Structure 1
Amino acid sequence: MSLRIVVCVKYVPDATGDRHFAEDLTVDRDDVDGLLSELDEYAVEQALQIKEAADDDAEITVLTVGPEDASDALRKALSMGADKGVHVEDDDLHGTDALGTSLVLAKAIEKTGYDLVVCGMASTDGTMGVLPALLAERLGVPQVTQLSEVSVEGGTVKGRRDGDTATEQLEASLPAVVSVTDQSGEARYPSFKGIMAAKKKPVESLDLDDLDIEADEVGLAGAWTKVDEAAERPARTAGTIVKDEGEGGKQLAEFLAGQKFI
């Protein structure tokens, strides 16, 4: 039986755009372009490498939870080489926090079927980094997180975690959840052939009813965390110009000392 790999991906606001909060203090996604989270591209890449090492005896499903435009994230992953997609979309998901998202993902993964779940180390918008652990807990399987190298041999997933003072070699029996860092290997660019092929790959649409999830378990009403207050970043002020008339170095040192940089 082929190895069943599910990669969780997220559609996020472009970090280079002008991002704001909406009136309900959720991220305003209407006024900024979105894209596949860069950190999730590493997860897709590692899944593809695992499939290639298995002589293509594996199937990769990319899974996302989000609004209609989140299908763009799926198509990007499919154009990289994933086999099929699953999109969970429901109006009642608006405002769902990490705990609620982990519930939705777990239900969708169980419905899809899996041997290995691969996640990025964090999303580039929330940057919490807790979802892989929450997901593993809900699925009741081992978690091997923050890996800079990952492989599958038989029924075991193995990986290397690089810390500040030590490197760990880890392994877990399948089924399992892993997350990979941005040091795991540069993600490939979709080829023209891959982009065209992605248009024909199947994408299944699911909603909360399909997953037997009640609306009050997710969304703002079911969130365990919320934003109480938000303020826009102050406008950038003009810098200090130092004219060097022989004592520029001294003036620079005094400025840095005044700002407690030195």
Structure 2
Amino acid sequence: MSLRIVVCVKYVPDATGDRRFTEDLTTDREAVDGLLSELDEYAVEQALQISGNAEDAEITVVTVGPEDARDALRKALSMGADKAVHVEDDDLHGTDVMGTSLVLAKAVEHIGYDLVICGMASTDGTMGVLPALLAERLGVPQATLLSEVAVEDGAVTGRRDGDAATEHLRAELPAVVSVTDLSGEARYPSFKGIMAAKKKPVETLDLSDLGIEAEEVGLEGAWTAVEDATERPPRTAGTVVKDEGEGAKQLAEFLAGQKFI
């Protein structure tokens, strides 16, 4: 039986762009270019590594987002994934991580899976909690923040490196894992891969396809809300300290005034 791998990816605003909020205090995604979250590229890479070591495996990438989010799927397909699923619905606007985990759980169940792989966090929200929420909704084990991952004998194994210790984890399939940026450099899509991606299937789903009511997601269903936002002030000239015998004292006073010490 084929090993069914699902990789959750996110289309995020380019961190180098000028990111702003809209009037409803959600991210203005039309004002800045988007791309596949860099940390999710590691998840795609590990899926490809596992698939390459399996006798028979299929990789499906799934994302939740607007029409442009399809670009993130195409990047993953050009890296080598087999097919993609795009959940797109106007009622998803403003969905937080709780709603996103619900939508992804329903999508993963729709696809069918043995192993779900996520990045350690998205490069826009940087919360890092979605893999755990997804595992809870699916009712399966989780092994998060892995710097090394493999599948053998019906289980996923991995290594988690902490500040004070290294843990070796094992979970029976089906399971959810997340991988860190130390798991292995993601490959660059080849020209052949880019051309092949154009012919790979991309299924589009909406909330009704997944049995989700509009009030469960979006701004209405969000568990969190941005109440206020202030534009970052322009950068000002720094303070120059001339050392004429009192430099260290002036530096200490400046740091204390900024509450750095």
Global fold match (TM > 0.5) = yes
2:254 aligned with 1:259: yes
Q: Show the counterpart of 2:121.
A: 122
By how many angstroms is 1:252 displaced?
A: 5.1
Which residue number corresponds to residue 157 of structure 1? 156
* Partner residue, 2:230: 231
Which residue in 2 is equivalent to 1:7? 7
Residue equivalent to 2:137: 138
Q: Which SS does the other structure have where 1:127 is aligned? A: coil
User: Please, which moves more after superposition, 250-259 or 224-233?
Assistant: 250-259
C-alpha contact (below 8 Å) 2:241/2:250 kept by paired residues: no
Question: What is the correspondence of 1:189-228 to structure 2 with a 5 Å cutoff?
Answer: 189-228=188-227
Q: For the residues of structure 1 that align with 2:183 and 2:170, how far apart are their CA atoms?
A: 16
Aligned match of 2:25: 25
Q: State the Cα deviation string for residues 133-164 of structure 1 (Å, max 9, x = none).
A: 00000000000001000000020000000000
The answer to whether the 8 A contact 1:11-1:35 is kept is: yes
Aligned to 2:110, what secondary structure does the other structure show?
A: helix
Return the alpha-carbon distance in structure 1 between the equivalents of residues 64 and 246 of structure 2. 53
Query: In the alignment, is the contact (CA less than 8 A) between 1:242 and 1:251 conserved in 2?
Result: no
Distance in 2 between residues matched to 1:61 and 1:256, nearest whole Å: 55
Q: What corresponds to 1:184 in structure 2?
A: 183
Q: Which amino acid aligns with 1:189?
A: Y
Distance in 1 separating the partners of 2:232 and 2:181: 28
Q: How does 1:4-83 map to 2 (within 5 A)?
A: 4-55=4-55, 57-83=56-82
Contact 1:10 1:40 in 2 (8 A): yes
Distance 2:93 2:246 in 1: 52
TM-score (norm 2): 0.95
Task: Give the CA RMSD over aligned residues.
Answer: 1.3
Q: Which amino acid aligns with 1:8?
A: C
Structure 1 Cα separation of the partners of residues 43 and 250 of structure 2: 44
**What do the CA deviations read for 1:37-94 (whole angstroms, capped 9, x no partner)?**
0010010011000011114x11000000000000000000000000000000000000
CA distance in 2, matches of 1:15, 1:28: 13
* Alignment-derived partner of residue 97 in structure 2: 98
Whole-angstrom CA distance in 1 between matches of 2:173 and 2:31:
42
**Deviation digits for residues 152-208 of structure 1 (CA, Å, limit 9, x no counterpart):** 002000000000000000000000000001111111111111111111100000000
Runs of 4+, deviation exceeding 4 Å: none
Question: Equivalent pairs: percent with the same residue?
Answer: 81
Assess if the C-alpha contact under 8 Å between 1:62 and 1:86 holds in 2: yes
- Structure-1 separation of matches of 2:145 and 2:63: 20
Question: Structure 2: 5+ residue runs without aligned partners?
Answer: none
Gap runs ≥5 in structure 1: none
> Hey, what's the Cα distance between the residues in 1 that align with 2:67 and 2:228?
28
Provide closer, same or farther for how the CA distance between residues 222 and 253 of structure 1 changes in structure 2, counting only shifts above 3 A.
Answer: same
TM-score, normalised by the number of residues in structure 1: 0.95
Cα displacement (A) at 1:255? 4.4
Amino acid across the alignment from 2:58: E
Number of equivalenced pairs: 257
Matched, 1:109 2:108: yes
